[in-house]
């Protein structure tokens, strides 16, 4: 009889020990430093962390969209068994859009300001799917309507600057969905949008994912954005996943102090007005010369000498007698895991200078 782990289907996406380096004047910067995860068909994987933690570098490495100054010295990205990084330039052109697509965080800079919306939405369909101009235009009208854009026929003849920020983001989503990809990467899709529009965009992504059966990677610095959408959540800090777990466990059984600190910095509606927000003291490390031990230790009020020696191993909450499938394990990098909630308040008040809010 097969075990539950053996019976789990092969992942759509497998990222194995991925490393990304950027050349700088001071030396190579370790933007991504040993990240591994699996993503199943139709699953949503949320990645949370402060700005500069490596989230965007990670997904751009997965998409093979790195600048010339970057290199990937180690690791593999397998999509349905294919090595994404081994694709030829021609293969990659037909891979992006049809298999993987990306919604970038700033539609103002991602859309071409001198091309009409219609030309930008239909371009990939004519190139990848071989549709005629009339067929692509009809499909574009359907996509704009599907993403909630009013008067879609009029929008096709407009330029990006004539649309609101929320409408531009909906156009970006329509472009990403044009060739029906199996995996959608949404990199901070609600950045610079007001709260009402953020909610609409997130609900739109969730609905389109269900209707199209896509897998999705959702990147954010805000737990609130991913909490209602992700099946699993990974917390990223200094180029590494410091904690990853099924979404419910991320909030109910916090293990890493950084995860706890991020959650404690979120404003709460049950707090009185003008309650001071908790903040994470200090700054993220310089990833050209990262700390030798735990990378969060310099900012953690509960670190001791044992945290500054060797890097902490990746631990798991699962017992050896009851193993779970890899995609359902709860893993964390900490030798002093969180055991009680009062640590949150004490850590935040320990740091009074050089605070960084998230």
Give the tens place of pLDDT for each residue, 190-214.
Answer: 877 788 888 888 899 999 999 989 9
In the block, residue with structure tokens 């690791």: 75
- Can you give the pLDDT at residue 168? 93
In the block, residue with structure tokens 């997904």: 59
- Can you give the pLDDT at residue 314? 87
pLDDT band with cut points at 50, 70 and 90 for residue 343: very low
Q: Is the pLDDT of residue 347 over 60?
A: no
Tally the domains of the chain: 2
Q: Are 77 and 61 within 8 A, CB to CB?
A: yes
Taking residue 99's Cβ as centre, other Cβ atoms within 10 Å add up to 17
In the block, residue with structure tokens 């031990």: 293
* Element holding 356 (H helix, E strand): strand 355-356
Q: What phi, psi does 37 have (nearest 5°)?
A: -170, 160
- Can you give the pLDDT at residue 22? 96
Beta strands in the chain (DSSP E): 13-22, 29-39, 44-48, 70-79, 82-83, 100-103, 183-187, 215-220, 232-237, 240-246, 280-281, 315-316, 331-332, 355-356
Q: Are residues 257 and 323 in the same domain?
A: yes
CA–CA distances in Å: residue 149 to residues 104, 116, 117, 198, 357: 18, 15, 12, 15, 34
Q: Which of 61, 56, 63, 62 has its CA nearest to residue 20?
A: 61
Q: What is the CATH number of the domain that holds 50?
A: 3.40.50.300
pLDDT band with cut points at 50, 70 and 90 for residue 309: confident
pLDDT band with cut points at 50, 70 and 90 for residue 327: low
Q: Are residues 210 and 304 in the same domain?
A: yes
- Can you give the pLDDT at residue 324? 46
- Can you give the pLDDT at residue 216? 96
Q: Are residues 84 and 129 in the same domain?
A: no
Region of poorest pLDDT, from 5-9, 116-120, 190-194, 342-346: 342-346
Q: Which of 154, 175, 196 is the last residue of a domain?
A: 175
Q: Nearest 5°: CA angle at 357, between 354 and 358?
A: 145
Q: Are residues 243 and 345 in the same domain?
A: yes
Q: Which of 116, 146, 175 is the last residue of a domain?
A: 175
CA distance 58 to 80: 19
Q: Are residues 211 and 297 in the same domain?
A: yes
pLDDT band with cut points at 50, 70 and 90 for residue 323: very low
Q: Are residues 50 and 147 in the same domain?
A: no
Across the chain, what does the average pLDDT equal? 86
Q: Is the pLDDT of residue 349 over 50?
A: no
pLDDT band with cut points at 50, 70 and 90 for residue 228: confident
Question: pLDDT: is 318 or 6 the higher one?
Answer: 318
Question: pLDDT: is 191 or 87 the higher one?
Answer: 87
- Can you give the pLDDT at residue 288? 95
Q: Are residues 196 and 340 in the same domain?
A: yes
Question: pLDDT: is 17 or 326 the higher one?
Answer: 17
Q: Which of 175, 192, 207 is the last residue of a domain?
A: 175
Tokens representing 7?
């019976």
Q: pLDDT digit string (tens) for 35-84?
A: 999 999 999 999 999 989 999 999 999 998 899 889 999 999 999 999 99
CA distance 32 to 65: 14
Q: Are residues 156 and 204 in the same domain?
A: no
Arithmetic mean of pLDDT, 327-353: 61
CA distance 266 to 75: 34
pLDDT band with cut points at 50, 70 and 90 for residue 178: very high
Q: pLDDT digit string (tens) for 126-144?
A: 999 999 999 999 999 999 9
Q: Are 274 and 331 within 8 A, CB to CB?
A: no
Tokens representing 220?
């954010």
Q: Are residues 94 and 213 in the same domain?
A: yes
Arithmetic mean of pLDDT, 96-125: 92
Q: Is the pLDDT of residue 254 over 80?
A: yes
**Helix axes of 343-350 and 257-264: crossing angle, nearest 10 degrees:** 80
Q: Is the pLDDT of residue 184 over 80?
A: yes
Q: Are residues 244 and 350 in the same domain?
A: yes
Q: Are residues 312 and 210 in the same domain?
A: yes
Q: Are 277 and 261 within 8 A, CB to CB?
A: no
Q: Is the pLDDT of residue 341 over 60?
A: no
pLDDT band with cut points at 50, 70 and 90 for residue 353: very low
Q: Is the pLDDT of residue 108 over 50?
A: yes
Q: What phi, psi does 274 have (nearest 5°)?
A: 70, 15
Domain of 318, in residue numbers: 4-99+181-356
- Can you give the pLDDT at residue 6? 53
**Helix axes of 117-128 and 133-146: crossing angle, nearest 10 degrees:** 120
* Element holding 156 (H helix, E strand): helix 152-156
Q: Are residues 223 and 347 in the same domain?
A: yes
């Amino acid at each position: 009889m097969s075990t539950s782990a053996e019976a789990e289907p092969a992942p759509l996406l497998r990222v194995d020990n991925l490393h990304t380096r950027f050349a700088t004047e001071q030396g190579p910067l370790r933007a991504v430093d040993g990240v591994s995860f699996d993503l199943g068909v139709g699953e949503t994987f949320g990645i949370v962390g402060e700005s500069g933690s490596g989230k965007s570098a990670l997904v751009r490495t997965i998409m093979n969209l790195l600048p010339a100054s970057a290199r990937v010295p180690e690791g593999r990205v397998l999509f349905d068994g294919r090595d994404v990084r081994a694709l030829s330039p021609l293969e990659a052109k037909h891979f992006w859009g049809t298999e993987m697509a990306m919604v970038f965080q700033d539609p103002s800079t991602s859309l071409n300001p001198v091309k009409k919306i219609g030309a930008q939405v239909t371009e990939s369909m004519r190139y990848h799917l071989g549709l005629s101009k009339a067929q692509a235009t009809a499909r574009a009208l359907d996509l704009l309507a599907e993403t909630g854009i009013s008067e879609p026929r009029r929008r096709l003849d407009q330029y990006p600057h004539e649309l609101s920020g929320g409408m531009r983001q909906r156009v970006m989503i329509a472009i990403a969905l044009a060739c029906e990809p199996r995996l959608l990467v949404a990199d901070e899709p609600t950045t610079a949008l007001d709260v009402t529009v953020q909610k609409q965009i997130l609900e739109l992504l969730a609905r389109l994912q269900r209707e199209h059966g896509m897998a999705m990677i959702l990147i954010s610095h805000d737990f609130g954005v991913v909490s209602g959408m992700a099946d699993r959540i990974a917390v990223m800090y200094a180029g590494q996943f410091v904690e990853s777990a099924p979404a419910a466990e991320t909030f109910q059984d916090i293990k890493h102090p950084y995860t706890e600190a991020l959650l404690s910095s979120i404003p709460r509606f049950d707090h009185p007005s003008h309650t001071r927000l908790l903040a994470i003291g200090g700054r993220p490390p310089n990833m050209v010369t990262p700390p030798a031990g735990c990378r969060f230790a310099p900012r953690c009020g509960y670190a001791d000498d044992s945290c500054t020696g060797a890097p902490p191993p990746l631990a798991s909450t699962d017992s050896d007698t009851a193993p779970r499938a890899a995609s359902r394990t709860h893993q964390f990098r900490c030798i002093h895991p969180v055991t009680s909630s009062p640590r949150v308040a004490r850590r935040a008040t320990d740091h009074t200078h050089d605070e960084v809010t998230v």
